Amino acid sequence: MKINALQIITLVYFFIWSLSASAQQTQSIKKDNVQLKFRLDDQGSPRYSVLFKDRDVIKESQLGFSIDTDSSFYKDFHLVSVEQRQADGTWQPVWGEEKNIRNNYEELTIHLKHKNGKLLTIIFRAFADGLGFKYEFPKQSSLKYFVVKEELTEFNLAGDHTAFWIPGDFDSNEYRYTTGKLSAIDNRPVVAAATDIAVKTVPDPFAVQTPLMMKSADGLYINIHEAALLNYPAMQLHVNKTNYQLSARLVPDTYNNKAYLHAPAQTPWRTVLVSDKAADILASRTILNLNEPSKAENTSWIKPMKFVGVWWEYQTGKSTWSYSDYADSTDSKKQLIPNGRHGANTANVNRYIDFAAANGMQGVLVEGWNTGWEDWFGNWKENVFDFVTPYPDFDVNAITSYAKQKGISMIMHNETSGSATNYERQLDTAFRFMNQFGYPSVKTGYVGKIIPRGEYHDGQWMVNHYERVLQKGMQHRVTIDAHEPPRPTGLHRTYPNFMASEAGRGNEYNAFSTGSAPEHETILPFTRLMGGPMDYTPGIFKLRNYADGAPGRQMHSTLAKQLALYVTIYSPVQMVADLPENYEAKPDAFQFIKDVAVDWDDTKIIEAEPGDYITIARKEKQKPNWFIGAVTDEHSRTATVPLNFLDKNLVYIATIYRDATDANWKNNPEAYTIETFRVDASNLLKIKLAEGGGAAISIRPINMSDDLKKIRKYK
Amino acid sequence: MKINALQIITLVYFFIWSLSASAQQTQSIKKDNVQLKFRLDDQGSPRYSVLFKDRDVIKESQLGFSIDTDSSFYKDFHLVSVEQRQADGTWQPVWGEEKNIRNNYEELTIHLKHKNGKLLTIIFRAFADGLGFKYEFPKQSSLKYFVVKEELTEFNLAGDHTAFWIPGDFDSNEYRYTTGKLSAIDNRPVVAAATDIAVKTVPDPFAVQTPLMMKSADGLYINIHEAALLNYPAMQLHVNKTNYQLSARLVPDTYNNKAYLHAPAQTPWRTVLVSDKAADILASRTILNLNEPSKAENTSWIKPMKFVGVWWEYQTGKSTWSYSDYADSTDSKKQLIPNGRHGANTANVNRYIDFAAANGMQGVLVEGWNTGWEDWFGNWKENVFDFVTPYPDFDVNAITSYAKQKGISMIMHNETSGSATNYERQLDTAFRFMNQFGYPSVKTGYVGKIIPRGEYHDGQWMVNHYERVLQKGMQHRVTIDAHEPPRPTGLHRTYPNFMASEAGRGNEYNAFSTGSAPEHETILPFTRLMGGPMDYTPGIFKLRNYADGAPGRQMHSTLAKQLALYVTIYSPVQMVADLPENYEAKPDAFQFIKDVAVDWDDTKIIEAEPGDYITIARKEKQKPNWFIGAVTDEHSRTATVPLNFLDKNLVYIATIYRDATDANWKNNPEAYTIETFRVDASNLLKIKLAEGGGAAISIRPINMSDDLKKIRKYK
């Protein structure tokens, strides 16, 4: 399937002006309710503003740079020319939330010339749900190689909005969210409290990460992020708490340089999504649209899947990644002495393969299979893992053969412990190993301080590293699920083998720390997920008394909510994260996980309010089945789901997995009720969600000749 | 040939004391005239001193460290035990200045325990010509991973010696030498004047590089350096100008960390060579002896050689490395437009192959063969070269085939422009390419600021990089000639594929800058060459009017001195650096270069005084021929060479290539005289060297039945 060929963009009109005499004239484009204005001010400084239904979203704000050869590359410009065009088209993602994605925008291109002769181009695209803009440094004689010392982009907000934020950390996105006014942002207590995060680098107390979700007092939902982060550092935002001005802060290297560029070059797109309906933010495909089309010529090897894994038993302390307890624990032949609790042993792995095969899962992930785990973390050690040497109790040949026999895809695990130089040295060898043993997919990990020392997880060098791994995956037909990378920016459009990433606070924090608040999953889709799928690892069924040696620990969720997450937290690769025995204890609830799809023809955001609730319905790819997930925060509420998206000519069976009447996340999380109804497009479902609860619904059409009458009609 | 097996060390005696009660007792070992004393002072601080013939060489000096978990890891020690042993043996290098190298020393091992429980071991070895000592961090529970913040080793000199020094630069060893008192050292003017060095990092005005050669007022020659620099940064020396105390300064990373270690670990050996004869310093094999035996099991692929190359024509501006003049110089098909002056074209390369084959050279180096040279330097650019893509006019298949037909080994060139990360990513591919096309050898280059950004050429990370390249060369049977690495420390014993390195100011500076003083080559063997062979690129015949557009430029040497350098500057790979046409113009003088050997059975340092003169005689490997080189500084002098090293039963023909009577480096550098004599072991040669001049002599035995009487007897 050639994806690129399917994107048909219609160019409607195209202007070029020579405008040297009209520098201060305001240029403007508008798409539906979204308007962009641009002008050069009296200093020759480029400035833009954004309106939604004529209300200020971004008040006039600065654009520009400080570069190594010119610290004032933000003023003294004049306008060379302006182009305007309109585009409309539809493209089909390799996998995704919809079968078709419409890309419809007005574009304004501003060609500027600095008084010192250097050229700068700014391209704006207005969409119905927001704005994207990027800078281009054209090929030119007066600017070849240069260093971005700082990007001076600003976002002047119109008020003291409520923000859903995490600290602007160069190395981690794994914080709890804080909800509060812009004027109250101070990340220091948050950082200090985050003792569960391994590596933290937060030099600016008033910097926050993007995607930054906000809500204005008058009901506007605003989301600031970026698209197509390539060869550039991640952008974070410094908050001026008195005037609500946000300033770009790029993740630096050790020299406080931000990006080493070679013209022609460009920045990622800066995105401002806006609507008066929160659901529109979740439904936006603007970030994806601002990414380049797929580079994959053949995509038959890229397969969404559900998978189980030898993993949660490590997180909960039942078994260990490592084979011995200490690297020094060796016998007289210098062989490691086994601790007897190593999870990735052949028998246990085969047990997971059996479970996956018996329950229609496609994959099995195994962590802790390769040597080095005795001594892998916290020492800034360069050569930790070699990615090809199994522990003695992990029989890679036998496991490969057994998995093949059972039709299961094994998922490789490459933990780098942050040592990217070591991984890059081994990359060819590691990917050849995957090809040799038929591993179609790899989960990468970057837990630890980065090597090269002096670089950060989210700086330009590492951004390029992650892209190199994606490219290597394309060459070797290996899909990637990256843990601890920068938060995504829609690159899975360009690299459809980039199935998912962590880059946020996953379900695992409930295993090894005090976890996340019940509202966490109502914020994630508005923040972390804006740029791409998250490997959140939902589906925990044993919600209390799972953590070895920590009896007080519990999930901040009901069981029904764990099911709902398969729909509300989008990913084409979904882990079925709990232990097989915990699913086997509740086969009726497990049926939803067995049934739920991971790839979709359509998605409807039914209800959404950041921090409060989200209800989403999705139609299974190339099938008539629908799946609905509803989640709430710490408050009980009723999810209301009109089924008008169903085919009016069909009758369906809906299976509703909901919180039991007396369920709540804190005291009775595992109580659930399963009900089956006959439904059609005229129905309106009303489902009670417990405190910290949720609901999951599967809907499939039935043939009227079946014993339909046995099934109750809903309501 | 198994090298390791040939080293027979005789251990003569062995003590262990338990000495907790005798902490302040001085330990001592002595080898011939060299004495080492060690004690713990009242603070429990380890201190050592070195004497030569009972004269102070190193007055009592501190030992120890500041590490991340303990800034005072230099005091509060007590003595746990002491071991003493003696070793004697002889080993055979794969290639070298002698067939047999004797390794004969007294060893003292001091086991210390810090009051906080950490263990530290110091091992001293006293040789007849000096001392080596290193630190070991034994495997222990209280010290696993740690960071060396600073090594606190000191060398308290006994007086204001005359030093031959270059600045302590983290990135370059390519300075002119300065001769002067320790009390006068200030590297700032030297650094400021060195506008011909591409990348300089010299934060300490009073730091100098090792090997540091010194001469005391009372005639002691002292050389301080290190041996076996592995997994540790290079050591430079901070000079206290008032008390002549030298302190170790390790090359840092961006965090000012020096070394990331994991016990058991060790430092390189710190070496102090001393004699009252300068020639003993040059004859010393102590640095080699302190390196580990060869790791090569089979060494048949490691071959010393002379080689020509497409190179000097670049240095002198006759042709270019690059195919186009600018990276932007492309035609409508985006192909580079040739500048018409690209040196590495097939016809020109074949001309060098012809010349090499016709004159008994074994190799041809070609630089500028691969794409990227339009834009390779000065931009801190990560992805410059891919090491496998030739320019369109370099037909790698045709050249490979032609060289094979002519019996010539092609020498690969891998310039990294300092981007070690990029090179490491490509290393497998690059070495497979060499294997595929039969290149047995590679010249690597590191011109530019290092990537990973934050690392320096001579820091621990890069030291490990260079070792990785050596290891990769061992796997692929490729020999290495590294340009711009740290100055060598005898590692070619361990890695016999490490044929040579630059790591100093080579002959090339005479091509592209104002060059080096005539004394330069009388200092290099006492400094840069102490640790290993240098690819100095001698043999320039056209000594004036060679530099395109720089008519005033000239070599600071006579032609006869250029010949002498093949003997005085030791390397198993010697470039025959000038253009073929310049050799063809002087076939009589070129005969010496054709004849001179590159691998030796024996070496005699006949005369030597740093900064003034050096005369060396060497016996060709497995042949009865001898070659002698004599060089002087800017002063004319007479080299005196007793031939008592010749076989007393043989008669020889000596061909003397000397400066013409009216020659001098400045005004008449190319005037030379060639004379042939009959000589034997009873002769004493006296040869006049011009200002900046030299002499080269080849001596081969003749059969008395030849027309011997036609040959004049010397004197």
Mean pLDDT value of segment A164-191: 98
Q: Looking at beta carbons, which residues of chain A come within 8 Å of B455?
A: 452-454
User: Cβ contacts of residue A221 below 8 Å, gap of 6+?
Assistant: A213, A214, A215, A273, A274, A275, A276, A277, A278, A280, A281, A610
| Active-site position among A367, A508, A519, A521 | A508
Distance CA B329, CA B373 (A): 13
User: Cβ contacts of residue A157 below 8 Å, gap of 6+?
Assistant: A57, A58, A59, A182, A214, A222, A244, A245, A246
What DSSP element (H or E) covers B189?
Answer: helix B188-193
A363-408 confidence digits (pLDDT tens):
999 999 999 999 999 999 999 999 999 999 999 999 999 999 999 9
What is the reported pTM? Answer: 0.94
pLDDT at A549: 85
Q: Looking at beta carbons, which residues of chain A come within 8 Å of B428?
A: 428
Closest Cβ–Cβ partner in B144, B254, B421 for A254: B254
CATH number of B11-286: 2.70.98.10
Domain boundaries defined on chain B = 11-286, 505-534+543-569+587-715
- Comparison of pLDDT for B612 and A711, the residue scoring more: B612
Q: Looking at beta carbons, which residues of chain A come within 8 Å of B419?
A: none
- The yes-or-no verdict on residue A16 having pLDDT over 60 is no
pLDDT at A19: 46
Exposed, middle or buried, A393 (CB in 10 Å: 0-12/13-18/19+)? middle
Instruction: Name the pLDDT band for A708 (thresholds 50, 70, 90).
Output: low
Distance CA A69, CA A74 (A): 13
- Tell me if residue B78 falls in helix, strand or coil: strand
- The yes-or-no verdict on residue A1 having pLDDT over 50 is no
- The yes-or-no verdict on residue A137 having pLDDT over 80 is yes
- The yes-or-no verdict on residue B708 having pLDDT over 70 is no
Give whole-number Cα distances, B503 to A170, B446, B485, B534, in Å.
Answer: 37, 10, 5, 8
Mean pLDDT value of segment B233-258: 98
B interface with A, Cβ–Cβ below 8 Å: 139, 144-145, 253-255, 257, 260, 262, 328, 379-382, 421, 424-425, 427-428, 452-455, 461, 464, 468
Mean pLDDT value of segment B27-55: 98
Question: Is residue A511 within 8 Å of residue A546, measured between CB atoms?
Answer: yes
Instruction: Name the pLDDT band for A3 (thresholds 50, 70, 90).
Output: very low
Instruction: Name the pLDDT band for A329 (thresholds 50, 70, 90).
Output: confident
Average per-residue pLDDT for chain A: 95
The closest of B460, B22, B489, B16 to B250, measured between CA atoms, is B460
Distance CA B57, CA B154 (A): 13
Closest Cβ–Cβ partner in A144, A254, A380 for B260: A380
Q: Which of A383, A421, A433, A449 has the most B C-beta neighbours within 10 Å, making it the best mutation to test the interface with B?
A: A421
Question: Is residue A76 within 8 Å of residue A43, measured between CB atoms?
Answer: yes
pLDDT at B705: 66
Mean pLDDT value of segment A312-319: 96
Distance CA A165, CA A182 (A): 9
Q: Which residue of A has its CA nearest to B464?
A: A382
- The yes-or-no verdict on residue A320 having pLDDT over 90 is yes
Instruction: Name the pLDDT band for A18 (thresholds 50, 70, 90).
Output: very low
User: Cβ contacts of residue B667 below 8 Å, gap of 6+?
Assistant: none
* Shortest CA gap A67–chain B (Å): 14
Instruction: Name the pLDDT band for A179 (thresholds 50, 70, 90).
Output: very high
- The yes-or-no verdict on residue B416 having pLDDT over 90 is yes
Instruction: Name the pLDDT band for B548 (thresholds 50, 70, 90).
Output: confident
The DSSP secondary-structure symbol of A514 reads S
B668-680 confidence digits (pLDDT tens):
999 999 999 999 9
Residue with tokens 């001698």: B538
* Shortest CA gap B254–chain A (Å): 6
pLDDT at B20: 45
Q: Which of B231, B256, B384, B421 has the most A C-beta neighbours within 10 Å, making it the best mutation to test the interface with A?
A: B421
A243-268 confidence digits (pLDDT tens):
999 999 999 999 999 999 999 999 99
Distance CA A348, CA A339 (A): 15
Mean pLDDT value of segment B436-449: 98
Q: Which residue of B has its CA nearest to A263?
A: B328
Q: At what angle do helices A346-358 and A396-406 cross, to 10 degrees?
A: 10
Q: Looking at beta carbons, which residues of chain A come within 8 Å of B257?
A: 453
A514-569 confidence digits (pLDDT tens):
899 999 999 999 999 999 999 999 999 999 999 888 888 999 999 999 999 999 99
Here the ipTM equals 0.92
B120-132 confidence digits (pLDDT tens):
999 999 999 999 9
Q: Which residue of B has its CA nearest to A426?
A: B425
Q: Which of B67, B254, B256, B471 has the most A C-beta neighbours within 10 Å, making it the best mutation to test the interface with A?
A: B254
Mean pLDDT value of segment B697-714: 78
What DSSP element (H or E) covers B403?
Answer: helix B396-406
pLDDT at A673: 98
- Tell me if residue B66 falls in helix, strand or coil: strand
Instruction: Name the pLDDT band for B706 (thresholds 50, 70, 90).
Output: low
With a pLDDT cut of 90, the percent of chain B lying above it is 92
CATH number of A505-534+543-569+587-715: 3.20.20.70
Give the count of beta carbons closer than 10 Å to the beta carbon of residue A383. Answer: 14
pLDDT at A705: 65
pLDDT at A337: 95
* A381 contacts B328? CB cut-off 8 A: no
- Tell me if residue B312 falls in helix, strand or coil: helix
- The yes-or-no verdict on residue B713 having pLDDT over 80 is no
With a pLDDT cut of 70, the percent of chain A lying above it is 95
Distance CA B233, CA B147 (A): 12
Distance CA B106, CA B28 (A): 10
pLDDT at B4: 39
Q: Name the phi and psi angles at B575, rounded to 5.
A: -80, 140
User: Minimum mean pLDDT among A692-696, B15-19, B105-109, B117-121: which range?
Assistant: B15-19
pLDDT at A170: 98
Closest Cβ–Cβ partner in A379, A425, A453 for B254: A453
Distance CA A99, CA A184 (A): 42
